[in-house]
Amino acid sequence: MRRALRTLQRLGYVDDKAVALRVAEARLARRPMAREALAAELEARGFSAGAVARAVEHAYGGLSDEDVAQRFLKSLPRRFSDPVREGRRREGLLRGRGFSADVSESVLGVTANPS
């Protein structure tokens, strides 16, 4: 089994770094999230730390967490006419995707709720 795996790796059929990158790009496109959240998902799938770091770096393509959060928020329709309620909703959505309170505060332009 190991010999077959090494042969497949040598021939380029098995490449954890390439697979991790494809998974990271697809996941980020479907569900924008913070870098740490994406890294945790890749690690949970069993990719090596090196493959995870490389995949996350390439998937973000030079974007910061703030950039990704801002793009995500722009894609959302407004659900509530009350700006406070809508702000809380959006903050919760960001938190659920692994963005920090600092990122939330930065992109929402308000002090994030500490709770």
Please tell me the pTM assigned to this model: 0.79
Q: In angstroms, how far is the first alpha carbon of the chain from the final one?
A: 50
Q: Where are the domains of the chain?
A: 2-60, 65-108
Average pLDDT by stretches of 10, the chain with 115 residues: 72 78 94 96 93 95 95 94 94 96 90 47
| Cβ–Cβ < 8 Å for 66, 28 | no
DSSP line for 51-90: HHHHHHHHHHTT--HHHHHHHHHHHSPP--SSHHHHHHHH
**Tokens describing residue 25:** 């790009």
What is the per-residue pLDDT for 64? 95
What is the per-residue pLDDT for 112? 44
What is the per-residue pLDDT for 115? 45
